[in-house]
Chain A
Amino acid sequence: MLGLDQHEVGAVAVARLLRDAGMEVIYLGRFNLPPGIVKTAGDENGDVIGLSCHSWEYLHYIDELLALLRQQGLSIPVVVGGSVLTAGDERLLRDKGVAATFGPTSSVEDIPAAIRAVVMDARRP
């Protein structure tokens, strides 16, 4: 989770969903800022960074996060999900370079498959 927002239900639910789908999930909990997220993703050799957004803070942090990844030469795709994402937000995030977005109407069946596709895509030379 990013920033000071503490609405955790969605993050916990998606973490469980992905574990149930056979993925390894490192859940960072609440109160994360971009430098910490990028550092953990690098240290843990993560395949994908997933951000849970239930406040509007992500709109202001996403550029910093993507820039940090680029600066450190990490080509880890970023996906963003959360109840506050609107169709307009999803377009904006993809334009910035976010690999996939999951708004409130995303179906639970689609999320693991979409994340797998993003990871496969990033691994392609």
Chain B
Amino acid sequence: MSRRSTRSGIPLKPVYRPEDVAALGYDEALGDPGVFPYTRGRRPPDHAAAAWIQRELSGEGAPSQSNAQLKYLIETGATGLDVIGDTPTMAYLDPDHPAAAHAVGTQGVSLCCLDDYRELYHDLPLDGLTVSHSLPPLFGIAGFYLAARERGIDPARLRGSIVQPPFYCEDCGYATHMPFPLRLRMTADSIEFASREMPRFHAFLEDTYYISDGGLDVVEEMALGFVEIRYVVRELLRRGLLVDSFAPRIAILVNCGMDFFEEIAKIRATRRLYARMMREEFGARDPRSLAVNIASHTSGLSLTAQQPVNNIVRGTAQALALALAGVQGIEISGFDEAFRTPSPESHLVGLRTQQVIQLETNVSSVTDPLGGSYYVEALTAEMERRIQEMVARVEDMGDPAALCDRGWFRTLFQDAMERHARQVRDGTKPQVGVNVHRMPAHEDTLLRALAERKIEPSRERVERIRAFKRSRDSRRLRATLEQVSRAARDTTQNLMPSIIAATEVGATMGEVAWVLRAAYGVPGDPFGMMESPL
């Protein structure tokens, strides 16, 4: 990267002037905030005065431990929650799976049955705050829905979101060991269910964070996100859904790296591209279908294990960029992200950073404060052009699902990881403390002690789930799992009702996933270690 280009390689001039934006008509290209094409913001200025949702990605240990963590975050001022499963949960494996033994609860919360969701949400005001979920979609929705309904909270009032990762999950850290048609069906079935039963819940969260944090640049990040959104939208339309029945509840969770203006331009360009796509290609009419909700998680890849205190500065710069871009929600990666699952200290600093920016800097009093800047508008337009061009290039190569199966995206992700490593190695991507302004290890001690504090895998939980499994009515359990199996083999059925029924009688996620995989002709247990639950 020369100094005169963005991190994604867009060449930059030393200064921008009126002629750089002369082609952009205000009404066509920008519009006021809350007005098509929503470049300047999703909501009219009156609404925008309300702060973004301030949250921190969390989840660790057993569900009860995470419940305490969520309460701590709310007490600290979080205005929304975002829960992530541990690695077994994200891979649809129960905690008693032999391969899960050393990972239960260490990198997220362990969730596998209805009791777990009851404990996770215990005493939380589910109808009073938004709960985002980085969890397997069918099961996360079923758990949230059932836990709320049991407490007398109408699921129609639930707000929040859930990640839908059908395209890239196998390559980017949320591997399910399920074939593409099943992954797409789980996405479409759960969105269809939620658009009916939980109409305020964003059941389609396109997560471009986790796909890009291996090293994709911002153009690649958003292009791949759009490819996935477009594919899922077409699938929902093919099923006969009306676009305005589900599009108001599509949201995007974007990454935010260190190139300040490039990230702002990315978000503004995404709002414009999305609005035009929804109106012109998919025929959406409801303004809520056109104005996309964007939240962001700041980049873990941009953080360093060296001199971790610098990560607090990075998180601040990133959150400030997001505040200026006008996003609906922010979560700052823990300053200890490079070496551990977030500590309570890093959650506290993340929330306090957001609070300082929101309450002390006055940056959010005026909507889209950078609108009209020659540089920001020119960069937004160039970003839009490049994202659109890459989406077209990918779609011109054929069916994106086939590209996915052929490993085309996998190659792209691997290349990006190698490119990132090379740029850090040769210094073209400066990282303070890593390739410039280094410090001897024995002097690099500030905040270092946190790394020695580890989260032990939850052995008690494994025992508890084993005991729970033995305690169930095996006849009823088997009958409901057989129902899931029949539903899975009949693609005209929605999977949600049978999964909800199975969950209610104690079926676990690992068991249901076993049945789903088997129905789609792949091994029920990817590790070949667990028996069939049927």
Q: Which residues of A contact B (CB under 8 A)?
A: 3-9, 12-13, 16-17, 30-31, 33, 55-57, 59-61, 83-84, 86-88, 103-105, 108
**Are the C-beta atoms of B87 and A8 separated by less than 8 Å?**
no
A5 in contact with B99 given A56-B455, A84-B339, A86-B451 (CB within 8 Å): no
Interface segment, one of B100-108, B140-148, B391-399 = B100-108
A16 in contact with B91 given A57-B103, A105-B441 (CB within 8 Å): no
**Are the C-beta atoms of B103 and A4 separated by less than 8 Å?**
yes
**Are the C-beta atoms of A108 and B175 separated by less than 8 Å?**
no
**Are the C-beta atoms of B421 and A17 separated by less than 8 Å?**
yes
A108 in contact with B418 given A4-B91, A5-B103 (CB within 8 Å): no
A12 in contact with B451 given A33-B99, A55-B87, A57-B103 (CB within 8 Å): no
Q: Can you list 10 residue pairs at the A/B interface with Cβ under 8 Å?
A: A4-B87, A4-B99, A6-B175, A9-B214, A9-B215, A12-B417, A31-B526, A57-B106, A84-B451, A108-B425
16 further contact pairs, Cβ within 8 A, besides A12-B418, A86-B339, A105-B444: A3-B87, A4-B88, A6-B174, A9-B417, A13-B418, A55-B107, A56-B102, A56-B454, A56-B455, A60-B457, A83-B305, A83-B338, A83-B339, A84-B340, A104-B339, A105-B441
Rounded to whole Å, the gap between the CB of A31 and the closest CB of chain B is 7
**A9–B99 CA distance with the chains assembled, in angstroms:** 22
B67 contacts A by Cβ under 8 Å:
no
Q: Which residues of A contact B444 (CB under 8 A)?
A: 105
**A109–B444 CA distance with the chains assembled, in angstroms:** 20
Q: Which residues of B contact A13 (CB under 8 A)?
A: 417-418, 420-421
**Are the C-beta atoms of A12 and B340 separated by less than 8 Å?**
no
A57 in contact with B102 given A12-B418, A86-B451 (CB within 8 Å): yes
**Are the C-beta atoms of A5 and B339 separated by less than 8 Å?**
no
Residue of B nearest to A19 (CB): B418
**Are the C-beta atoms of A31 and B175 separated by less than 8 Å?**
yes
Interface of A is mostly: loop
Out of A5, A7, A12, A17, name the residue touching B414 (CB < 8 Å). Answer: A12
Residue of A nearest to B454 (CB): A56
Task: Give 9 closest A-B pairs by Cβ, nearest first.
Answer: A104-B305, A13-B421, A4-B87, A60-B102, A6-B173, A12-B417, A57-B102, A86-B451, A4-B103
Most buried by B among A4, A33, A87, A88: A4
Q: Which residues of A contact B417 (CB under 8 A)?
A: 8-9, 12-13
A7 in contact with B173 given A86-B451, A88-B452, A105-B441 (CB within 8 Å): yes
**A12–B301 CA distance with the chains assembled, in angstroms:** 14
Residue of B nearest to A108 (CB): B425
**Are the C-beta atoms of B305 and A105 separated by less than 8 Å?**
yes
Q: Which residues of B contact A4 (CB under 8 A)?
A: 87-88, 91, 93, 99-100, 103
Residue of A nearest to B449 (CB): A86
Rounded to whole Å, the gap between the CB of B217 and the closest CB of chain A is 14
**Are the C-beta atoms of A5 and B454 separated by less than 8 Å?**
no
A105 in contact with B454 given A5-B87, A9-B421, A12-B417 (CB within 8 Å): no
B54 contacts A by Cβ under 8 Å:
no
- Bitwise, B200-220 to A at CB < 8 A (1) or not (0) is 000000000000001100000
Residue of B nearest to A61 (CB): B102
Rounded to whole Å, the gap between the CB of B266 and the closest CB of chain A is 21
Rounded to whole Å, the gap between the CB of B133 and the closest CB of chain A is 18
Q: Which residues of A contact B301 (CB under 8 A)?
A: 9
**Are the C-beta atoms of A8 and B214 separated by less than 8 Å?**
yes
Q: Which residues of B contact A33 (CB under 8 A)?
A: 99, 527
**A4–B107 CA distance with the chains assembled, in angstroms:** 10
B164 contacts A by Cβ under 8 Å:
no
